[in-house]
Structure 1
Amino acid sequence: MPRIDLNSDLGESYGQWRLGDDETMLGLVSSANIACGFHAGDPSTLLDTCRAAAKRDVRIGAQVGYQDLAGFGRRFIDVTPAELTAEVIYQIGALEGLARVAGSTVAYVKPHGALYNAVVHHRDQARAVVAAVRAYDDSLPVLGLPGSVLLDEAERAGLQVVAEAFADRAYTPEGALVSRREPGAVLHDPDTVARRVLRMVTEGVVTAHDGSEVSVAAQSVCIHGDSPAATAMAVAVRALLDAENIGIEAFV
């Protein structure tokens, strides 16, 4: 039976500001990319999210990003490699403490937002993220975009790499993600997204925004937790995959 990991970005509420339906999403996915306090997430929110993930046996990933609460981590920051390495170590360690108290542990690392997009091409920052993971725990897998310099550098450094596809993001013909600044960058129709994920998993292809076919070799598929239709899309994806006898299983 084919199997795939489903992941989602969770723990992104902050104080009285609520974002997403983490409880519902945790019942649908197998891996949770939990914020680490730099782009989103306060300590109480992150601990509650870790506890909810542990209760459902959902793997916890440290979603590390730029120190940018105001911009939700979606603005590129030209931070020095040494500073970025220290910041990533700090974030993994913070979430690891909360995860341990919740009865779980950090199982992998995934960059967030602008950092995720930067390390597709920005080799110095990619190396800084890899250096942080190696320094903290070189058994932690790194989740990222296929063909990115992040996965290239991680593989060169001997880290386990996990290729990721996106259920609800538009692709360029080159296999990159269309910028959120562009119209149509984020998909919202649950049925469309579900059928798209099924093709990714069974055929290894996705239709780019120009209509061309792009190869995807994903070990994990991300459904963002912060869009208005996130829960409906996740429900539709899970229902279709279940109907097609495709198992949902964490990659670690």
Structure 2
Amino acid sequence: MMWQKRLLKLSPQMRDKLADIQRGNVQPVNLAVTGTKLGVHNWTHGSKTKDGRYLSPENAIKAISAKFADTSDKNRPTNSVDVVGIMVSTQNIDDFITQLEQVAVLLPDPVFKQSYDYAKSQKDLATTKMIKMPTVGYPAFSPGADITPASAQSLNGVMRNANAMAMAVRGDPTTLINNILQKKAKKEEENQQKVNKLLSAQASIYAYQATGTLEQIALTLQAGKPSSAYVYTALVMYVGNDLSNIRGMIV
């Protein structure tokens, strides 16, 4: 249970399903993920100067650890859970922007998208002040809900559309095929653009993976953290009963 340098990209399962679709062999698959998530980035909260902000991996992790140990949060899971952390952390703002751009394709969480937008707008400003501790809202944990990555949601949509068209053609091709084909070419082009973007996206990240109670996990979150010289950080921690669909994207 420690942070490790990894590559984020589509899992082999997702890639195989896409290949099946392109061969016309469409089978149902469920890529949904249920749980909750917490995140922080340089511009979440904290002291700000006209030159911008700093946020080290250590301080980002401290903010999350405090919420993992906060027993007053009624929405905080108390049982053993699956936890996956995805962190983008660099010393150079250009590298930060490059990695976030790819991460936001695969995991378009608001934390990654916001930090990408802010970093782009402030990349020419010198950052001179370290955030001692970003503030995570209270309650930090929301009730369990759908936290399926948008990349998986897009693939689910592609597969549903392919299934629907295949079933319609089988049902009554003489009356349905003309109507279907009018939309099919455009829809397939849009889907292929989505697929190509997802297939080509990959990003260098730091990943943390563990199973246990949040109290136990909070004690290990600093292990293997990136260097404090890395002053641009965006971190999302996923919490749920089964995060295998997110784990599968970590290579």
**TM value normalised by structure 2:** 0.26
Kindly indicate whether structure 1 or structure 2 has the higher relative contact order, using CA contacts under 8 Å at least 6 residues apart.
2
Greater helix content: 2
Indicate the structure (1 or 2) with the bigger Cα radius of gyration. 2
**TM value normalised by structure 1:** 0.25
